[in-house]
Amino acid sequence: QGGNNAGHTVVVDGKEYDFHLFPSGIINPKAISFIGNGVVIHLPGLFEEAEKNEKKGLKDWEKRLIISDRAHIVFDFHQAVDGLQEVQRQAQEGKNIGTTKKGIGPTYSSKAARTGLRICDLLSDFDEFSSRFKNLAQQYKSMFPTLEIDVEGQLKKLKGYAEKIRPMVRDGVYFMYEALHGSPKKILVEGANAALLDIDFGTYPFVTSSNCTVGGVCTGLGVPPQHVGDVYGVVKAYTTRVGIGAFPTEQINEIGDLLQSRGHEWGVTTGRKRRCGWLDLVILKYAHMINGFTALALTKLDILDVLDEIKIGVAYKLGGKRIPYFP
């Protein structure tokens, strides 16, 4: 799920890579990387990311990357609309959501409205694709009169991308079925974003537009629930958040500054400073209620090394009473 709104910094053999759409496993020459149907793909972003990482030494990625034919496409106008919606929210409500302006929300909106276009549409009849693309562009122009869209220019670029990705595209459902039932394979699924950004279970409306909890494995790849084995929760030794939204353990003081600077807490996608605070066990337990972790991967414990004392959020009070859940 998700798109190039999420960012993962991966360091291997002293080399630092930034991934947004690429699965982190793309570095491993022995692994096949697969982008599932739940992901929304901005094609210019994908190739820009490829180019950046090729300069850092990533080789032959196109031989190891498979893309689901059912993944939805993020268009440039989705990204423009994302920015316009944020400006609108700021003007109307005095606050925005703090999106990455990568067009993720508008693309999932198109998907839910059944006007979206998928990789399979791009690779089949291009005339049919073009007319649907024009209709979608027209819908957005009627909603946002200031929006300018170079329809012909975008279609020309998309036609070029279609040929570049064609060899990588497969029927994603059958691909996963074969991976699960063919010769034994180790399958690792990587989700973008965090549990508290989940569209259903996160701190709505300050969330992303997809299910970044474990259910996304089933819906975003077509993997039946009985095939989900171990679930690893990745958690920092302190809590961070990019953008606005509730954050009870946040430290807007020298502790927060220390965590931010020592932990290099910058959003990989936006370059925004991450808000930092003490570890919140209430949200960690809540994430566990939903995902049923079989193990935790605790990261960044060393960032706390310089502190004589560390604090941990253990409970929330509502109306003076402790509550056993995340409200």
111 is catalytic: yes
Banded pLDDT at 114 (limits 50, 70, 90)? very high
Instruction: Note the pTM of the prediction, 2 decimals.
Output: 0.93
Question: Of 158, 186, 214, which residue constitutes the final position of a domain?
Answer: 186
Question: Of 153, 186, 219, which residue constitutes the final position of a domain?
Answer: 186
Regarding predicted confidence, which is higher, 131 or 6?
131
CA distance linking residue 151 with residue 155, whole number of Å = 6
Question: 295: domain CATH number?
Answer: 3.90.170.10
Tell me if 10 is assigned to some domain.
yes
Cβ within 8 Å of residue 225, ≥6 positions away: 218
What's the chain's length in residues? 327
Question: 106: domain CATH number?
Answer: 1.10.300.10
Percent of the chain at pLDDT > 90 equals 87
Q: Which of 101, 102, 111, 236 is catalytic?
A: 111
Please indicate, yes or no, whether residues 61 and 146 belong to a single structural domain of this protein: yes
Tell me if 192 is assigned to some domain.
no
Please indicate, yes or no, whether residues 179 and 274 belong to a single structural domain of this protein: no
DSSP 213-237: STHHHHHHH---GGG----EEEEES
* 7 has pLDDT over 90: no
Please indicate, yes or no, whether residues 29 and 166 belong to a single structural domain of this protein: yes
Tell me if 19 is assigned to some domain.
yes
Tell me if 212 is assigned to some domain.
no
Torsions phi, psi of 168, nearest 5?
A: -95, -15
Please indicate, yes or no, whether residues 169 and 248 belong to a single structural domain of this protein: no
**Token code pair at residue 94:** 């005095």
Tell me if 98 is assigned to some domain.
yes
Please indicate, yes or no, whether residues 30 and 106 belong to a single structural domain of this protein: yes
Q: Report the pLDDT value the prediction gives residue 285, as an integer from 0 to 100.
A: 97
* 269 has pLDDT over 80: no
Tell me if 199 is assigned to some domain.
no
Domain count, the chain: 2
Q: 169: domain range?
A: 1-186
